[in-house]
Amino acid sequence: MNLELEQIYQSDGKIDIIKVIKIVWSKWLFILVFSCFFSIGSILYALSLDPVYKSEALLAPDTDQSGGMSSLVSSFGGLAGIVGGGNTQGTTDNARLALPVFKSRDFLYQFIEKRNLLIPLLAAESWDVENGTFTINPQRYNEQTNQWIDENGNVTSEVSAYDAYSKILSALTVTEDRFTRLVKVEMLHPTPQKAKEWLEWVIEDLNEYFREADRKEAEEAIAYLQEKMSKNNLSNLDKMFAALVENQTKTLMMVNSKKGYVYRTLDKAYQPKQRVSPRRTLIVVAISGIGGLITVFLVLIVYFLGYGFSFSVFPPKLSFHKIPDIS
């Protein structure tokens, strides 16, 4: 065992913490300089991260609604078998169905296409926080020819819609309070303007998604009933069919006129003032602290391996030497 290493052990074989601290303190300049390198690196890393803003909205299910075919079946009652109705369980809870639909591929693919989000999601190189605009990566999309560029730099007509879906999926969060059934929807984006705008679009399009489905069901139900009426020779059934057609017409009017449809907005999407990430101060403090600990451990590891070293800043010099052995 070398002399300096033997000195950090007490007579009972335990490490003398005071002497370990003295060893670390004797290399304070080395620890300080290399910790500064970690700090500078952490600052540059934190500044390189794009800001992320979050907009939120609070929704309540609109329970005063029913799908076209569902209300048709309910109205049939005993006539369900005559006119072809099957399920007589009543109305479908669209609000329950809407929760998984929010993040479904079918809905989000339609959302991306309708709102022309393919380029912002896949070709945006950077975003301007002040006005919500973005610059296009020329290696991904050619603005002059309106053509996509693949990884090899070649023009391509195939763009991965799934990549766009994955990005919007990671930015969208939907949670429901199981007791109140209130739904909180959140949208993340590098700019506060688009965080608010995209969130409003998602809510609007979800309502339209279900509105269109119920509109189609009601129109099909009306066409179905009118066909049955034209083939029916019983006057009493004609009156019943007419009543059912009238009922479906009212349903269709409600579908077309209702504003919120599946969800009513209790707390509208807002434009956030502060970013939610990155937490640059926390990143700098954490990386700097970890860097300082790593530097201290390096000093101790070198020492326990039986080496000493000297360090100077001006001129920059780091030299190692073997600690004399006493055995």
Q: Please give the pLDDT value at position 234.
A: 60
Place of tokens 């335990």: 14
Residue 102 pLDDT exceeds 70: yes
Query: Who contacts 81 (Cβ-Cβ below 8 Å, separation ≥6)?
Result: none
Q: Are 214 and 221 in contact (CB under 8 A)?
A: no
| Alpha helix (H) residue ranges in the chain | 3-7, 17-26, 28-48, 68-76, 80-83, 94-102, 105-114, 118-122, 161-171, 192-231, 235-257, 280-304
**Residue 99 is encoded by which pair of tokens?**
């929760």
- Please confirm whether the linkage preceding 278 is cis (ω < 30° from 0): yes
CB count within 10 Å of CB 131 equals: 9
Which whole-number Å values give the CA distances from 40 to 46, 48, 217, 280, 318, in the listed order? 10, 12, 62, 13, 21
For range 72-80, the mean pLDDT: 48
Per residue in 247-305, pLDDT (tens digit) is 888 878 877 777 778 899 999 999 999 999 888 889 999 999 999 999 999 888 888 77
pLDDT bucket at 188, cuts 50 / 70 / 90: very high
Q: Quick check: 4 pLDDT over 90?
A: no
Residues 190 and 55: their CA atoms lie apart, in Å, by 11
Secondary structure (DSSP) of 209-231: HHHHHHHHHHHHHHHHHHHHHHH
Residues 219-232 have a mean pLDDT of 80
Dist. CA 152–CA 175, nearest whole Å:
40
pLDDT surpasses 60 at 104: yes
* Separation between Cα atoms, residue 197 and residue 299, nearest integer Å: 53
> What is the C-alpha separation between 222 and 68, in angstroms, rounded?
9
Distance CA 291, CA 37 (A): 8
For residue 22, the one-letter residue type is: K
Under a CB-based contact definition with an 8 Å cutoff, are residues 227 and 277 in contact?
no
State percent of the chain over pLDDT 70. Answer: 83
Please determine, for residue 30, whether its predicted confidence score (pLDDT) is greater than 90.
no
Which pTM does this prediction carry?
Answer: 0.73
Give the pairing type, strands 134-136 and 124-127: antiparallel
pLDDT of residue 299: 86
Q: What is the pLDDT of residue 92?
A: 44
Report residue 66: phi and psi, to 5°: -155, 145
Listed by start position, the domains of the chain span: 3-49+279-322, 53-267
Strand partners, 267: 58
**Residue 266 has what pLDDT?**
94
Q: What residue has token string 């009493």? A: 236
Greatest extent of the chain over all pairs of C-alpha atoms, in Å? 118
State the DSSP H helix or E strand holding residue 125, giving kind and residue range, or none if neither: strand 124-127
Residue type, 32: L
φ/ψ of 290, rounded to 5, equals -65, -40
